[in-house]
Structure 1
Amino acid sequence: MEDMKQRKKEEKPTSSRQIFCLSGPLHLTSVDWNNFHDRRSVAASLVQGVYILERDRQENRTDPVAHAPPWWEFFNFQLVHILVDDVDNSIFGAIYEFKFSNFNHNHSAQKSPHYVVAFRGTINKSNTRSRDLKLDFLCVRNRLHESSRFQQAMQAVESIFAVAENSRIWLTGHSLGSAISLLVGKNMTKMGYNVEAYLFNPPFLSAPVEGIKSEKLKHGIRFTSSVVKAGLAAAVKGLNHNHNKHNNHRPEKDESFSSLSGWKPYLFVNPADLISSGYIGYFEHRKKMEEIGAGKIEKIATQNSMGSLLSSSEQRDIEPLHLIPSAYLTINMRHSPNFKHAHGIHQWWDPSFFGLSELHEYNPYVLCTG
């Protein structure tokens, strides 16, 4: 009797958020792959599948009581590979393959992915907290590329493209996972590959200006920041030009940034999420700068961060992780009661979701937003 009481005390209650039949998008009994909202919901669910894979591991849940499989099986995907961190042995990513069949091969199936590579964000549990927070810190310092987790992710994606180059391959992630996806996507684009990316609550590594109520003050801060960054970037470029005269030429940062202009990842942010909401101002500020005739200044500023410009020469050469030329930006317009909800993955498959989407395009010669 005492043993039974002890076992009950040690058992951890399972959150309904982990159980697909309680919180998953059950309304998507038939996915229209031409529908942007359906694709968003599926991508978010596959990321949730990675979260639950790790929770299943932590709580020793295996088939047939594991909670993770419905998060991909409901959409006719199969799990073909898991990515395990070599430091804490946690599951941080998964590779899914879409199972084509006569049942799901409708007119929209041509838009479905063949493979999806998904990455989870930080899990604030004792098993994963230490490692995830260290990676968060590397992300803030613009050194995520140095982590073994990113290198594993990069190798996995490269391997898929090597064997399935002509397939439709998606990258998706949430929070820290979206930072990994973004960095992988940038690298694959520069290598000449076409990858579709769905990035949920991607970290914007800059001062949280979005929390300021006054639009005039926000614009003033952004304008001043753009002018300062443009000036610093011009000074640094001059130093680099003199340095490159005596060394092998390396591509200028603006060349690298411009090479990404054709890649248009899907970004999903919430105005109440201070981690990702900076992307709203980042793209809106471009439009305003163009409207007031300061597009040339912003063209330089948009590809530089204050942190990288003021860092050591070695770190200065590294392209800021969070800055991207073009994107489809989707903003969740529904009220979020707290930060946890605003930064959560669950909002992105909610059937009552209401958001605004806009394509922001970067032209290396003429700055424009459409």
Structure 2
Amino acid sequence: MEEKEKPVSKREIFCLSGPLHLTAVDWNNFHDRRSVAASLVQGVYILERDRQQNRQKIQANAPPWWNFFNFQLIRLLVDDVDNSIFGAIYEFQSFTCKYNHSGQNAPNYVIAFRGTVNKSNTRSRDLKLDLLCLRNRLHESSRFQLAIQAVQSIVTVAGTSSIWLAGHSLGSAISLLAGKNVTKMGYRVETYLFNPPFFSVPVEIIKNEKLKHGIRFTSSIVKAGLAVAVKSCHHRPQQDDPFVLLSAWIPYLFVNPADPICCGYIGYFEHRKKMEEIGAGKIERIATQNSIVSLLSGSLKSDSEPLHLLPSANLTINLSQSPDFKRAHGIHQWWDPSFDGQSELHVYR
């Protein structure tokens, strides 16, 4: 008996759910750049859905997600364990611009990574990688190794001034880790991180602001004290400190307060600002680059530090109401023409 083809969600179809309002992209406009980056990440999701449904050429739903913005798909990134498509490399085609705008300041290349796909074909592998993220061992996975090799190959060819990294959820973690790696190599890549995982104690769920601040303040004091005690035996010059080396790299973070996976970044950066305001900035500058777990375990290796420890970032918070977790964690919110958000630059000094 022939298996019936599953119905296509309208969220997969660009003409029904994509940013059709962007008929002329202003590459100097932050909102346009955010929408394009999110759409290219969505393209990776749909590439994998096309693969699972065996949709070929004319049936495929993925191409409009990059063609609309004058990009060409030049390479697929395929997981060596389950053969799923987890990333894509796009090249901008400035000579084929369809609308009344130039490609000035557009990226030459965008390397995009999808997040977890909750389908039987990919669920097992993706969840294992989610657990590796939680344990700060994502760098040990073959998927990340494939990703960083792809990033390094493009950086070698094009330099970094014309490359974007972009990812959502698990793909955001891959982009973040890749961005950290190339920054330590002396390059800085423009990076767009949608709903990046923040794996730490879920302080954000506490409604009492004074209690939250008290918990964070106590945590900072403990971490700073432990760091001074532990690292005094492993002193190194400030210019060689990985956290200081990363401080000039400013990735774009996009988070939703209703999403428990990423909302921790809001408190992470707000607390740093409050500590500066009350004159405890020096304590926080030590605390913010350490985790209690790694300090107690005696692990001082930079590759074992929690991924969410970031010196600097341009943090954008979606202020729109999200009716459920699926909407709060979804990629579609980031190109919504009615998007209501606020952005703030946080720089580690």
**TM-score computed with the length of structure 2 as normaliser:** 0.96
**Matched-pair contact (CA < 8 Å) for 2:242–2:302:** no
Instruction: Work out the CA distance in 2 between the residues paired with 1:265 and 1:166.
Output: 14
Q: Does 1:120 align with 2:114?
A: yes
Partner of 1:98: 92
Structure 1 stretches (4+) deviating beyond 3 angstroms? Answer: 102-108, 250-254, 312-317
> Which of 128, 133, 145 is the equivalent residue of 2:127?
133
Partner of 1:322: 308
Tell me: CA distance 1:122–1:207, structure 2 relative to 1, closer, same or farther (3 Å): same
Give CA deviations for 1:90-119 in whole Å, capped at 9, x if unaligned: 000000000012746977632210000000
Partner of 2:17: 23
Partner of 2:213: 219
Q: Does 1:258 align with 2:244?
A: yes
Tell me: CA distance 1:172–1:148, structure 2 relative to 1, closer, same or farther (3 Å): same
Instruction: Work out the CA distance in 2 between the residues paired with 1:108 and 1:292.
Output: 47
Partner of 1:293: 279
Tell me the secondary structure at the aligned position of residue 57 of structure 2: coil
Instruction: Work out the CA distance in 2 between the residues paired with 1:118 and 1:108.
Output: 23
Larger mean CA deviation between 306-315 and 55-64 belongs to: 306-315
Give 1:77 deviation, angstroms: 0.3
Partner of 1:347: 333
Instruction: Work out the CA distance in 1 between the residues paired with 2:212 and 2:54.
Output: 48
Partner of 1:162: 156
**Matched-pair contact (CA < 8 Å) for 1:254–1:303:** no
Q: Does 1:276 align with 2:262?
A: yes
CA RMSD of superposed structures (Å): 1.9
Instruction: Work out the CA distance in 2 between the residues paired with 1:268 and 1:152.
Output: 25
Give CA deviations for 1:181-237 in whole Å, capped at 9, x if unaligned: 001001111111121000000011111111111111110110011111111111211
Q: Does 1:311 align with 2:297?
A: yes
Give CA deviations for 1:309-363 in whole Å, capped at 9, x if unaligned: 2335376873321111111100000010111111110100011100000111111
Partner of 1:74: 68
**Matched-pair contact (CA < 8 Å) for 2:198–2:264:** yes
Give CA deviations for 1:139-168 in whole Å, capped at 9, x if unaligned: 000110001111111000100011112650
**Matched-pair contact (CA < 8 Å) for 2:167–2:192:** yes
**Matched-pair contact (CA < 8 Å) for 2:24–2:100:** no
Partner of 1:33: 27
Tell me: CA distance 1:253–1:317, structure 2 relative to 1, closer, same or farther (3 Å): farther
Give CA deviations for 1:28-69 in whole Å, capped at 9, x if unaligned: 111010110000000000000000000110111111100100
Partner of 1:54: 48
Q: Percent identity?
A: 76
Tell me: CA distance 1:238–1:282, structure 2 relative to 1, closer, same or farther (3 Å): same
Instruction: Work out the CA distance in 2 between the residues paired with 1:91 and 1:253.
Output: 39
